[in-house]
Each structure stands twice: as structure tokens, then as C-alpha cells.
Amino acid sequence: MEPIRVLCSQTERFNNVRAFFVAEIPDSITRLLIPLSSLGEEVDSNLELQEKIVTTLVNISYIEESRTVMAQNPLVIPQLTKSLKQGTDDTRRISALTLGSLSLVDSNKIIIGNSETLRAMIDVIKEGDLSATKEAYYALYQLDYVLENREKAVSEGVIPALTNMIKSGNNKNLMLSVLTTLSFHNGVLEEKDDIGFIDDLFRILRNPSSSRTCEVALAMVARVCCLRSTGDRNREKL
């Protein structure tokens, strides 16, 4: 246990250690994750080990050149996804933070989207009061720039999850930004109508918590109007 404590501390403090660990040590990421992967589904049976390994992952993900290597390792995304679902609040938060860091690379967005990670992120958002929730929003926002990820997120129930959180008043700016990105998916407008979200947008505009909230809500209303106008014209052609 002591070696992982030291590695976690060193990668947290020193940028050159982060870079050296990935670039110069053969199979470093696989060797780091073997103790965690050997636990199988009981990934949280050793909470300190889990937290130190996940924290080391987020530390080394701050090196831009390391992000692609990390995401391409077959152990990284599955272990982060498990730790997003199981572990201490801090471990879950750090897992979401790591996924957000990795998703800054376009090719990684596809890798992450092809895993079970989107479902796990949406489950975290549904829980709502976790410290991991805000980081999950951010990661989802990055991932949803890929069309296939938007489609999967919508099918997994992200729209009701986000709108429920907006109604509760939590992290409105970020959640509205995610919903604005998702609005480019064809089925989202109808789903928002079904759950009464358009009325919620106008309530937000009447009592905005900040200028940014008002700006994002206006962008969403404009998007809705544009989609409706396009739909009406298409129906007229038919």
C-alpha cells in the first residue's frame, strides 16, 4: 500500500513525475490498475487503495500527451466507470473528474461513449446530491459534442435527470449548457415538451439567478423556436 501512497503524492506534487510515469515506464498504467482490476466487481472493497489509484489517474491525466494513452488502455475506462458507481464520495468525484479530463481529447470522447460510462454518469446526475454530480455534468458536456454520445445520453434518460436538477435549483448554468448541446438531437424537443420543460425555461427567464443563466436559457428558447419553425415548414411541404 505504501508504494501507491507515495506515487499518488508524487504525481500530485510534481508535473515531471506525471509525464515520466506514462512516457518512460513500460506498461505503467496497466501495472497501476492491476491491483484494482483484480478486485473485480468489488472494486470498493479496499477504499484507500481505490481512492489512491483513481487519484493517481487524475493526476497523470493533467498531462495532455498522456490522455490518449490512458483512454486507449483497456483497463482505464472500465475501472473509472466502476469507481464512479462504487466507492467513497471523493473517489466517485475524482473518477468523474478524470473522465472529464480524458474527454477533452476528441478521440477519447468516442472511446468513452462506447463504454457503459454514459449510463453511470447519468445515474450520478439522478442521485443529485453527490460531490461527483458537478464533475459528471462537466464530463457529459464534453462528451455530448459527439452526435453518437448525444443520442445515447438521450436514450439513457439524461433529459429528465437534468431538468429535475434544474427545477431543484442546482447548478443551473452548467445543466442548461448541457441541455443546449443536447438540443441538436432531433428527439429532444418533443421530450422537453412532454415533461413541461419549456414552461420551466420561461420561469428561469422571469427570475434568472445570474446573467449567464439568462443567456443560456435564451439560447435554449431560441433553439426551441428554430426547431419548431423548421418542423412546421416541413409539415407544410408534406
Question: Domains of the chain: which residue ranges?
Answer: 1-156, 162-238
Instruction: Write down the mean pLDDT value for the chain.
Output: 84
pTM, two decimal places:
0.82
Question: Is a pLDDT exceeding 80 seen at residue 5?
Answer: yes
Q: Average pLDDT for residues 205-216, to the nearest whole number?
A: 72
Question: Is a pLDDT exceeding 60 seen at residue 81?
Answer: yes
Is residue 59 a contact partner of residue 11, using CB atoms and an 8 Å limit?
yes
10-54 pLDDT tens trace: 999 999 999 999 999 999 999 999 999 998 888 889 999 999 999
| 15-24, 61-70, 182-191, 204-213, range with the lowest pLDDT | 182-191
Ramachandran angles phi, psi of 43, nearest 5°:
-65, -25
Cα–Cα distance measured from residue 224 to residue 238, given in angstroms and rounded to the nearest whole number? 21
In one-letter notation, the amino acid at residue 1 is M
Q: What is the pLDDT of residue 236?
A: 44
Q: Average pLDDT for residues 163-176, to the nearest whole number?
A: 70
Angle 133-143/172-182 helices, nearest 10 degrees? 30
Cα–Cα distance measured from residue 173 to residue 183, given in angstroms and rounded to the nearest whole number? 15
The DSSP H or E segment spanning 54 is helix 47-61
Is residue 125 a contact partner of residue 137, using CB atoms and an 8 Å limit?
yes
Q: What is the pLDDT of residue 202?
A: 77
Which CATH architecture fits 1-156?
Answer: Alpha Horseshoe (1.25)
Question: Is a pLDDT exceeding 80 seen at residue 129?
Answer: no
Angle 64-72/47-61 helices, nearest 10 degrees? 130
Q: What is the pLDDT of residue 158?
A: 84
